[in-house]
Structure 1
Amino acid sequence: MRTSFFFTCILALWATFSTAQNSINTAQQKVAGWQTTSGLANASICISVSDNQTNSKLIESKPQLSLVPASILKTITTATALEVFGPEFRFQTTLSYSGTVHNDTLFGNLQIIGGGDPTLGSMYFPENKNFMDEWVKAIGNNHIRVITGNLIVDATIYEKVQVPGSWVWEDLGNYFGAGASGISVFDNMYEIHLKSGGEADNPTQILRVIPEIQNLELTNEVLSSDVNSDQSYVFGSPEDNKRVIRGTIPKNQSDFVVKASVPNPSVLLASEFRKKILANGIVFSGETKFEKAVGSGKLSVIQSPPLRHIIRVTNHESVNLFAEHFLKHLAFQKTGLGTTKDGCLFVVQFWKDKGLDMTGFFMNDGSGLSRFNAITANQMVDILNYMKTKSLYSTDFYKSLPTAGNGTLTAFSTENFPQDCLHAKSGSMTRVRCYAGYLTTESGRQLSFAVMLNNFSFSQKEASKKIEELLVELRKL
């Protein structure tokens, strides 16, 4: 009986191993077939699949190429920020004053000191929407009704240059091309409301801009179109108030919203706050100056939500601005000044110190918007493995990644990936489609994977479908 039971177990194990090996072979055959598939024949393909428990590579393309990762780079930026700052970390923005308060008068300056908070007034965190009301309340609680000095806006925690130099011109003026500032507000975004007529190829009309941007010079070249989607782009340099909006919007629109990046968030915050102060009957006629604050008596400290919540939004919604803030803040904690360059150097060295081979890892921003970024699938998977098996914050990181049918994985079928067996981040730009994350197989194995396609010639939808089919096969392991 014991012998029979032993052989039964051996046969069961062999059947399981055989099924798993067949799935691996099928997956490898699929990948091999991609190179002769129309649309992928001239593409660059980089793949890595690893078993989390054994850390062994089940599939890896050879050679391992350094490819443009697009937004899957956010998983590396967020993983690094989580490791360095911890999930409970909160950014802070301080309202303070210099000088003295006597009776109802502040003889000195009112000061806003930025702490790199990307969530101040953010649409993703409604709890931070009314932060200026809290500031006005704090001024009132200190019995201040008159301010004799100036409004000092201090964003010097980060470099003055908001956006990485390698971002392309087509991205800069649009909401997804908003740069990280020591003071960011309202997601560094404003809305352009347009009206289009009933016929295609006719000029459109600007109805309003929300919030109002001081001295904004907006040239509208947008036409109406039969195409029922937003095909418009906003062009303009960072900190330059001249903007041109080109392209098309659907015809017959009474109020069509195009989102754009704020030229200077500090200027916008100062303008909105001064309006709020005056509306509350506080006398304040001083100038607004953008410089480092000196001497301070704290009036109010606005805290961001915990980092775990910001990272979840970053990976679920693929928010470029938040990722760029993380990168600059990593540099700030290292050098005392948040710069993109030092943030990239920090991330590379951080993972080197963990024992990872970072050869061929080229980082130029935190969000993946730059086409100068390049990483290998193995590097992506090695970092995913570390976060899953060694990080103290493994659960927070895992939960930050979307599941099939949600966030940036809306294209993936929940029927193919039931019970949240897939947690992953997507990344896309012109001729680039990548996915990276975790997959739980039907037998319960935990896999880390990265699939990166560059320079394919079919549609993004077809690229996603190819990758989904591969992951479905891997799930059979």
Structure 2
Amino acid sequence: MIKEMISLLSLVFFCFTLNAQSQPTKDWSFNDEISLWKKHETLKNAGIGIFVQDATTGEVLAKTAPQLSLAPASTMKLVTTATALEILGSDFRFETQLAYSGEIKNDTLYGNLVIIGGGDPALGSEYFKEHYLENHFLDQWTKALQALHIKHITGDIITDATIFEEQTIPNTWIWEDLGNYYGAGACGLSVYDNMYRIHMASPAEAGQPTRVLTTKPFIPELELDNQVKSSTVKRDLAYVYGAPMSNQRTIRGTIPLGQADFVIKASVPNPPFLLGWELLDRITSAQITVDGFIKSQGYNDTLSQLTLVSRTLSPTLLEIATVTNYESVNLFAEHLLKYLAFLMNGKGSTKKGTQTITDFWEKHGIDTHGFFMADGSGLSHFNALTAEQMVGILHYMKTQSVEGSNWFCSIPCVPNGTLYHFNPVNFPKNSLRAKSGSMTRVRCYAGELTTQSGQPLLFAVFLNNFDSSHREAIRLIEDLLLRFSKSK
């Protein structure tokens, strides 16, 4: 308690000092501000990375020294989306195909129905309901089969997800994340954001067992071991544990007591199987019968032997990148990473994707010493780069990229997306456009700040292992950015 009071008093004093200096003095400099940060009680043991550059002149206005390689958390998505737009272009669209093998005689398909994944991160996504769900892509596939007058299929429903590697998650993600919605892995055939909802009920007393009511969508063959208890804490503290492609899931933790229908979100164990099941259910309802089963295999070597039935195009890459940066969707970022690997190497893997992105920026003038990329989303604690490297990428996109304007528009402004913590009064008229990143003891921001005099500044602020709450860390960073805003 005493430590917390000291920390709070220190924070109040620090913020008061910043606010008291609302107008720069003649002798004041950004580096004076950085020195003040390093003396702050909650930051004295922290890793601090700050880099600020004038976007017009290229002048470096502030930097911590030495520049440390620090965990960027979700600001890593800026690196991934920038690279994807540079290589693929804003108008690129992913494609998922429905095809068949064999031949059609009368009303019977003597062969298999095949869903060929194209790495679409957003197939059936809640973020794109108008694109996929209002005119449901499964209904479109069903109508395409009906147009061929197919009423019976003798073979199987095959799901081909081989555009990506079989391992859906990076090696360095932690066990606690994997079963939860934000830890959904990137699969060659992803669907519905690779996420399902578990509906639960809790008793009126704390510390008692809860009940699972249902899951939406229905996950076939799912085995749920529910160990969640009711609690007086009024928020979701339940975590889902389980390995990718395994139907066994354990739920631990607590949910608020007295809930008739409390929802927690989890990652789909086997997205291709779920998609095959959903298609089977849809065509069965349309009176098309299937003799076989849902199977997973690759058709990449025999695509010439397949007949195309229907194809589904994704929203544009710019639309996907915008959702990735606004909503911080890990799944989308991991898909982009793996697709770049597929494009460059013929196989979509995390390892090849991180190397592709690192090589790209090295070829475009970024010093990649100390640049360590373990995934595309920033969820891995093994990611590390310097604030200067992040601003170097921002500067390239601002001054050299033909996609730069589009990409910067994909980054949220206060108070949109993940910038809802910031006070819009401090940053009016879209003057702060940034991506946030947070994990345990990590809080980062990177983007563009337009000063009150209209000067654009590019910045990255990385905090690792600070000794305060995230709310306090956010306040420190907001006050620092406000100080920058008033400086020119």
Q: TM-score by structure 2 length? A: 0.92
1:81 matches 2:81: no
From 285, 298, 318, give the equivalent of 1:279. Answer: 285
Which letter maps to 2:197?
E
- 1:377-456 map, 5 Å: 377-456=387-466
1:135 matches 2:145: no
**Residues 170-217 of structure 1: CA deviation (Å, up to 9, x unaligned):** 100000000000000010011110101112111111101111212211
**Contact between 1:24 and 1:474, CA under 8 Å: does it hold in 2?**
no
Which letter maps to 1:128?
Y
Task: State how far apart, in whole Å, the 1-side matches of 2:27 and 2:453 are.
Answer: 14
1:256 matches 2:262: yes
From 353, 358, 362, give the equivalent of 1:352. Answer: 362
**Contact between 2:124 and 2:193, CA under 8 Å: does it hold in 1?**
yes
**Contact between 1:24 and 1:58, CA under 8 Å: does it hold in 2?**
no
Task: State how far apart, in whole Å, the 1-side matches of 2:243 and 2:90 are.
Answer: 34
Change (3 A) 1:24 1:164: farther
**Contact between 2:94 and 2:119, CA under 8 Å: does it hold in 1?**
yes
Task: State how far apart, in whole Å, the 2-side matches of 1:51 and 1:27 are.
Answer: 13
Deviation larger for 133-142 or 208-217: 208-217
Deviation at 1:27, TM superposition (A): 3.6
Q: Structure 1 vs Structure 2: percent identity of aligned residues?
A: 53
Task: State how far apart, in whole Å, the 2-side matches of 1:291 and 1:44 are.
Answer: 46
2:40 match: 37
From 300, 306, 315, give the equivalent of 2:316. Answer: 306
Task: State how far apart, in whole Å, the 2-side matches of 1:468 and 1:322 are.
Answer: 28
Task: State how far apart, in whole Å, the 2-side matches of 1:441 and 1:36 are.
Answer: 26
Which letter maps to 2:178?
L
**Residues 377-426 of structure 1: CA deviation (Å, up to 9, x unaligned):** 00000000111111111121111111111110000111000000011000
1:63 match: 66
Change (3 A) 1:360 1:145: same
2:204 match: 198
Deviation at 1:101, TM superposition (A): 1.5
**Residues 412-463 of structure 1: CA deviation (Å, up to 9, x unaligned):** 1110000000110000000000000000111111110000000001000000
From 171, 174, 188, give the equivalent of 2:180. Answer: 174
Deviation at 1:38, TM superposition (A): 2.0
Task: State how far apart, in whole Å, the 2-side matches of 1:92 and 1:328 are.
Answer: 15
Deviation at 1:36, TM superposition (A): 2.1
Q: TM-score by structure 1 length? A: 0.94
Task: State how far apart, in whole Å, the 2-side matches of 1:467 and 1:39 are.
Answer: 13
Which letter maps to 1:81?
A
Task: State how far apart, in whole Å, the 2-side matches of 1:289 and 1:248 are.
Answer: 36
Which letter maps to 2:144?
A
- 1:264-343 map, 5 Å: 264-293=270-299, 294=302, 295-343=305-353
2:18 match: none
Determine helix, strand or coil for the equivalent of 1:138: helix
**Contact between 1:424 and 1:437, CA under 8 Å: does it hold in 2?**
yes
Change (3 A) 1:194 1:314: same
2:154 match: 148
2:481 match: 471
Deviation larger for 100-109 or 349-358: 100-109
**Contact between 2:273 and 2:295, CA under 8 Å: does it hold in 1?**
no
Which letter maps to 1:441?
T
Aligned-residue CA RMSD (Å): 1.3
Task: State how far apart, in whole Å, the 2-side matches of 1:21 and 1:80 are.
Answer: 37
Task: State how far apart, in whole Å, the 2-side matches of 1:224 and 1:25 are.
Answer: 54
Determine helix, strand or coil for the equivalent of 2:197: strand
1:3 match: none
Unaligned runs of 5+ in 1: 1-18
Unaligned runs of 5+ in 2: 1-21
Deviation at 1:39, TM superposition (A): 1.4
Change (3 A) 1:382 1:21: farther
From 88, 110, 135, give the equivalent of 1:107. Answer: 110
Task: State how far apart, in whole Å, the 2-side matches of 1:20 and 1:55 are.
Answer: 24
**Contact between 1:27 and 1:470, CA under 8 Å: does it hold in 2?**
no
Change (3 A) 1:287 1:438: same
Task: State how far apart, in whole Å, the 1-side matches of 2:456 and 2:348 are.
Answer: 37
